Amino acid sequence: MNLRRIAIVAQKEWREIVRDRVFLALAFLLPVTWMLVFGYTMVFDVENIPFAVLDFDHTVQGRDFAYRFIDSRYFDFRGYLSDEHQADRLLAGAKLRLVLTIPEHFARDIASGRHAQIATTIDGTFPYRAQTIQAYAEAITRDYSAALQARYIAGRLGVSNERAAVLMQPLRLEVRYLYNQAVRSNWSVAPSLVMLTLMFVPSLLTALVVVREKESGSIFNIYSSTVTRAEFLAGKMLPGVAISFADALLLSALAVYYFGAPFKGELWFYLLATLVYVICTASIGLLVSTLVRSQNAALMIASIIGIIPAIQFSGMINPVALLEGGAWVQAHVFPAMYFENIVLGSYLKGVGGATLWTDLCVLAGYAVVLIALSYLAFHKRQTR
Amino acid sequence: MRRFAVLTVKELKQCSRDLVLVAFTAYSFLAAVYISGTGVTQDLRNAALLVHEGTPTPASRDLLYRFREPYFRRIGTFWSPREGMRRLDDGTAMLLLDIPEDFAETLNRAARTASVQLMVDTSNVTMGYLASDYGERIAATFTQDWSQRVARRSGLDLRTVPSVENASRVWYNPDLNGHWFNAIGQWLTMMTVIALLLPATALVRERERGTVEQLLVAPLTPVQIMLSKATAMTLVNVGGTVLSVYAVMRLAVGVPFAGSAALFFATTALYVFSIAGLGLAIGSFARSSAEVGMLVILIVVPMTALSGTWTAPEAMPTWARYALTISPLYHFIDCAYGILLRGAGIRVLWGSIVALALLCFVGFALAWLRLRGQPG
């Protein structure tokens, strides 16, 4: 390893990046744009659910009940429907996710002391959302019913309203949301976005470095030069890693200062882990670049490798513990999951190296293996 | 027309000769969809629960007994709040249930409402929500049973007291099987990446090598060049979709096919065509493959993540919802899920289809303007 030769290769690579102004701008613009766009839009909250009411009862009591839904901040009232066909059509066209049906005799049943039944029809296409909608609808109905019963019992047994209310509601579950008290996904998502973005950017920066020279033929200059394989690959990777690490710092600053995500962990550990992660994802790009022969194949593989683990298998949306079979394997094969642990631990949970060192070790091992593979896959003599 | 056909065949041949590309396309349509369709769930399963039981009583036992598998898994007890927090921090527990000392006493005295605390790790937002939903349901059934018993003691049958019940019906996926949703979502993501990236890189490659000059001086209009690239892309993706839908989704995952197959593949073709048009427009702006890669990824990841598969557009801020209407995927999602699961027909979907066609036109018009203005 000759440091000077590495520096020269890196310098040449750096110049190539700097001269392509659009590319250089994108290398910084892309992460920042993503962070801003995703930070506002990646909300997993189930809110503003479009719903409509099918009221067959046409009574004050029926409307009063419907009003509990209309008034809820979770539901977005789109109006009263005229018949069931309209409900069918709007549900099928995804214009509504919930239809509340108040049957005939709703008010009469309540007045005569019977069970009144309402129906909620939910679009089950998106199961997680459907489950949450179901829970909201049940809670609203339950509260309404409990208040109704309490009033009735107070009259029947001759006890105070408070006493009747306690009888109907003897237990309350107080839910406390930790690490993100408001469950506003906004800022709990910001740290994960650092992970997501850094899964793509470094590998895109390095995915073309070798294959570009193969396509244009300038690789022959390298084949015939004194620079060794290791020096060449190291020099090729350095500028990408440097830019990515600068991106990482920028993104972390955005997460903390712009989105207000708390940083509770150990700063030095986090920075070290971020550097290792960036080297990791940059070496994914490098490996792809040494293996394929065309730039478009390299781009496609690098993007698909980025998309697969980063969104679905990192634990950001689906917890890794619940994955099965191939999905579980895929989650463990890619570095995204380990860094997601580090990110969540460092930002939201306030734990440091003592807890997260295993994840860091895996990332480091991953980087070493990838770089070794790239080294083995790159030959200075053309095989074919 | 013949020239157009020749060019289309040339594009197809170019794709099929790149073995790595073929392998990755096959992986995307088959293996990736299979893995998501069988291995990913968004249900609450075995959420690790730690319990603190102030004084063990029949009432607290009854409540605890209800937090059970498959949703919750009791992994033990915690004795101090500190210990509980530590277990949440290192991720070995997801929920803490704290039942106070005077729980049974308060319940029996019925002077005030007893409260039980459930602490939920919401660093994963969706799971946090689901866990608290289930927790609340458990509390509700406990409450109901308890009230019934107390009321009976005072000579009152709660069944004779007026109440409102909710009959909940779930349509299109009654068992809330998450696999259907995941398989379709993964197919949409993969197809979008391929249909956007390949035409864009194909166009830039011709420019980098200089063969685009040849095309431009050949007796071909820019429209023919663009349409042939988009058509080749559409053929590849619709072919992949046929395999993906029939071999993976129907056979392996069991996704129903409620609507019309003809309408489904026709809208898929229209969608791929409009994405390819967008890809060509990007390709006509970029000068190097590296730029194309960046531009495509800049667009494709937000598009696939935000159009309505993984997150719900209705929960987003208003400006984002308006911005999403220029994403072809936003309109196609209604068609894809609509036809496969909801059995929607053209009368329901015509709005989305018109929007797709419009976006398709805009993409091609942009690419056409750029290509026409180039030397040649």
Per-residue pLDDT tens over the stretch A146-188 = 888 888 888 887 788 888 888 888 888 888 877 654 555 566 7
Q: Which of B123, B169, B348 sits opposite A89 (nearest CB)?
A: B348
pLDDT of residue B270: 95
CB contact under 8 A, A126 and B338: no
How near does any CA of chain B get to the CA of A153, in Å?
8
Angle between helices A127-153 and B125-153 (to 10 degrees): 20
> CA-to-CA distance for B374 and B147, rounded, in angstroms?
79
* Contact call for residues B73 and B47 (beta carbons, < 8 A): yes
CB contacts, 8 Å: B137 with chain A: 135, 138
> CA-to-CA distance for B240 and B230, rounded, in angstroms?
15
Helix (H) or strand (E) holding B266: helix B261-285
CB contact under 8 A, A49 and B314: yes
pLDDT of residue B132: 86
Residue B231 CB neighbour total at 10 angstroms: 20
Q: Which residues contact B1 (CB under 8 A, 6 or more apart)?
A: none
Q: Which of B124, B198, B320 sits opposite A41 (nearest CB)?
A: B320
Closest by Cα among B118, B113, B110 to B64 = B118
At residue A273 the predicted structure's pLDDT band, cuts being 50, 70 and 90, is very high
pLDDT of residue B206: 83
Higher pLDDT, B21 or A372: A372
Angle between helices B178-209 and A295-307 (to 10 degrees): 160
Query: What is the pLDDT of chain B when averaged over all its residues?
Result: 86
- For residue B276, pLDDT over 90 is answered with yes
* Contact call for residues B203 and B229 (beta carbons, < 8 A): yes
> CA-to-CA distance for B11 and B8, rounded, in angstroms?
5
What b-and-e string marks burial along B272-294, b requiring 16 or more CB atoms within 10 Å of the CB? bbbbbbbbbbbbbbbebbbbbbb
Higher pLDDT, A177 or A78: A78
Q: Residues B180-184: what's their mean pLDDT?
A: 89
- For residue B159, pLDDT over 80 is answered with no
Amino acid letter at B141? T
Q: What is the pLDDT of residues B112-149, one digit of tens each?
A: 888 899 988 877 777 888 888 889 889 988 988 888 88
CB contact under 8 A, B165 and A341: no
Q: What is the dihedral of CA A77, A78, A81, A87, to 10 degrees?
A: -100
Higher pLDDT, B135 or B209: B135
Q: Residues B211-239: what's their mean pLDDT?
A: 84
- For residue B345, pLDDT over 90 is answered with no
Q: Which of A132, A301, A315 sits opposite B124 (nearest CB)?
A: A315
Q: Which residues contact A225 (CB under 8 A, 6 or more apart)?
A: none
Q: Residues A280-285: what's their mean pLDDT?
A: 93
pLDDT of residue B374: 61
Tell me how far apart the 2 most distant CA atoms of chain B are, in Å.
95
> CA-to-CA distance for B144 and A170, rounded, in angstroms?
9
Task: Determine the CATH number of domain A49-168.
Answer: 3.40.1710.10
CB contacts, 8 Å: A128 with chain B: 42, 126, 130, 178
User: What is the Cα B13 distance to its own chain's centre?
Assistant: 33
Mutate to test the interface with B, among A76, A91, A168, A287 (most CBs of B within 10 A): A168
pLDDT of residue A70: 93
Mutate to test the interface with B, among A163, A195, A281, A299 (most CBs of B within 10 A): A299
- For residue A78, pLDDT over 90 is answered with yes
Given the DSSP bridges, would you call strands A115-123 and A98-102 parallel, antiparallel or unpaired? antiparallel
CB contacts, 8 Å: A48 with chain B: 314-315
CB contact under 8 A, A297 and B158: no
pLDDT of residue A106: 92
What b-and-e string marks burial along A300-334, b requiring 16 or more CB atoms within 10 Å of the CB? bbbbbbbbbbbbbbbbbbbbbbbbeebbbebbeeb
pLDDT of residue B376: 39
Query: What is the pLDDT of chain A when averaged over all its residues?
Result: 87
Q: What is the pLDDT of residues B22-58, one digit of tens each?
A: 888 888 898 888 888 887 776 777 888 999 988 888 8
DSSP lists the bridge partners of residue B169 as A121
Residue A193 CB neighbour total at 10 angstroms: 24
* Contact call for residues A177 and B128 (beta carbons, < 8 A): yes
What b-and-e string marks burial along A133-144, b requiring 16 or more CB atoms within 10 Å of the CB? bbbbbbbbbbeb
Q: Residues B329-355: what's their mean pLDDT?
A: 91
Where do the structural domains in chain A lie, given as residue ranges?
3-42+184-377, 49-168
* Contact call for residues A189 and A45 (beta carbons, < 8 A): no
At residue A280 the predicted structure's pLDDT band, cuts being 50, 70 and 90, is very high
CB contact under 8 A, B205 and A307: no
* Most confident option among A168-182, A202-216, A358-372, B120-134: A358-372
CB contact under 8 A, B341 and A125: yes
Structure token digits, residue B263:
């309408």
At residue A383 the predicted structure's pLDDT band, cuts being 50, 70 and 90, is low
Q: Which of A113, A167, A208 sits opposite B151 (nearest CB)?
A: A167
ipTM of this complex prediction, to 2 decimal places: 0.84
Q: Does the domain spanning B47-160 belong to CATH 3.40.1710.10? A: yes
- For residue A41, pLDDT over 90 is answered with no
Q: What is the pLDDT of residues A321-338, one digit of tens each?
A: 777 778 888 888 888 889
